[in-house]
Structure 1
Amino acid sequence: MTDSAKPRREQIYDVASRLFSERGYHATSMRDLAGELGIQGGSLYAHISGKEDLLVEIVRGASQQFDDSLFTLRELDLPADQKLREAMFRHIRVVADNMDSATVFFHEWKHLSEEPYAQVVAWRDTIDAFYRELVERGIEEGVFRADLDVRMTANLVLSAVNWTYTWYRPGGTLTPRDIAEQFAEMLLSGLRQA
């Protein structure tokens, strides 16, 4: 059910995130959403323009959470390996703290229409570039091996942190920090100079 203390629009997005995450975007109808909210289907349109509007806003909100969490790392004066470790933690924390919207973001974005789809692809490119920058800096600093393929290394790191939404369960034995530390130890041991 919904948190009645929240504004109706926020309730709608929360419920849509949960239903899209559990059932998928196409398998969730506006009637399902209205039923979960305890309102008439037509009442939804006083708050949103349509189902894709919900998907666009969920995806946009998730991308903003990643941006806010990750891009401030550029300002920190840390060695590249520590920055990469912290980026992995922050990335996983965004996923862990927002499982429904993260699941929608990583899995359902492909259902967006052309313009918002292109925006997600552009955003993904900025995140990819961010992780490549971290790897490149590590090579320049002599912390990471000079023979690393920067793109492949960034893809490996991103694959590890992005796919956390598929198996992580809040309340389990591992915290987001524990997961990030274990991932970082495994990955960084292969990246570091001997």
Structure 2
Amino acid sequence: MGSVHIQSNVKDPKKVEMRRAQIVAAAVKLFIKKGFHPTTTREIAKASGLSTGLLYEYVQSKEDILFLVCRHIHEEVETRVEGSLTETGQGSQRLREAIWSLFTAIDSMPDEVLLIYQESKSLPKDFLSEVLGKESEITGIFETLIYEGIADSSLDVDENAVPILAHQIVVTGQMWAFRRWALRDVDFHTFAKVQVDSLMHACGNRVS
């Protein structure tokens, strides 16, 4: 859990979770279609199946909703990456699986990934800090896997390069969302294979 707490006037945690899931699902679609600033809380409430007054029982502001949206997207990506990891196997194998999983997650939700980087600047400072912290957590998964590969000798790379390589993995995956306009003639599998092979080589992969 992070340091940011979104206030709610409703005391039932399950009900809060359910209603906020409705709000987030509606807000994601509206923010992607219209952008954060042009979208009104009235529109979000209507798309959520709630009255505006009822929506404000579960959040205090539109910025609260944007924060919940960003957190939801990051958690979805993180869950998919962590869920792809096998409990056994060399670090290089686990790293390759995680990179593929990251790329596949981004391929399934490119608009959502782009949304974070287009709109998160509108968040209050403490909210933005937590969103960036979640991004760092995802990057940290890849740092850990590279260190595992170094430890079991399936990867041969300078430890000083590990943080840079971990960020490179995440940014390369995000390229599929950011550069779709330039890669429209490239299919996802081709993009992913080229990039995964390149990243694994950069990480000193010793296993084919």
TM > 0.5 fold call: yes
- Mapped pair 1:182 → 2:190: no
Q: Is the 8 A contact 1:138 1:144 kept in 2?
A: yes
Hey, what does 2:139 align to over in structure 1?
A: 128
Paired residue for 2:52, among 44, 52, 61?
44
SS of alignment partner, residue 59 of structure 1: helix
Aligned-pair CA distance for 1:8: 8.1
Paired residue for 1:150, among 144, 162, 167?
162
SS of alignment partner, residue 46 of structure 1: helix
Cα distance in 2 for partners of 1:146, 1:8 equals 47
Cα distance in 1 for partners of 2:154, 2:147 equals 10
Aligned-pair CA distance for 1:73: 5.0
User: How many residues in Structure 1 have an aligned counterpart in Structure 2?
Assistant: 183
Aligned-CA RMSD value: 3.3
Paired residue for 1:118, among 129, 139, 143?
129
Q: What TM-score comes out, normalization by structure 2 length? A: 0.70
Structural mapping, 1:41-80, within 5 Å: 43-48=51-56, 49=59, 50-73=61-84, 76-80=87-91
Aligned-pair CA distance for 1:32: 5.4
Paired residue for 1:94, among 93, 101, 105?
105
Cα distance in 2 for partners of 1:193, 1:16 equals 41
C-alpha change, 1:187 and 1:31, in structure 2 (3 Å) is same
Q: What TM-score comes out, normalization by structure 1 length? A: 0.74
Residue identity opposite 1:105 in structure 2: I
Cα distance in 2 for partners of 1:19, 1:34 equals 11
Aligned-pair CA distance for 1:79: 1.7
Q: Is the 8 A contact 1:85 1:180 kept in 2?
A: no
C-alpha change, 1:97 and 1:45, in structure 2 (3 Å) is farther
Cα distance in 2 for partners of 1:188, 1:178 equals 15
Residue identity opposite 1:128 in structure 2: T
Paired residue for 2:152, among 141, 163, 171?
141
Aligned-pair CA distance for 1:168: 4.5
Per-residue displacement from partner, 1:59-97 (whole Å, max 9, x unpaired)?
121122122222345552122222122111221222222
Q: Which runs of 5+ in 1 are unaligned?
A: 1-6
Cα distance in 1 for partners of 2:39, 2:135 equals 25
Per-residue displacement from partner, 1:32-66 (whole Å, max 9, x unpaired)?
5568x498xx9334224331222122112112212
C-alpha change, 1:38 and 1:185, in structure 2 (3 Å) is closer
C-alpha change, 1:43 and 1:172, in structure 2 (3 Å) is farther
Hey, what does 2:11 align to over in structure 1?
A: none
Cα distance in 2 for partners of 1:93, 1:193 equals 21
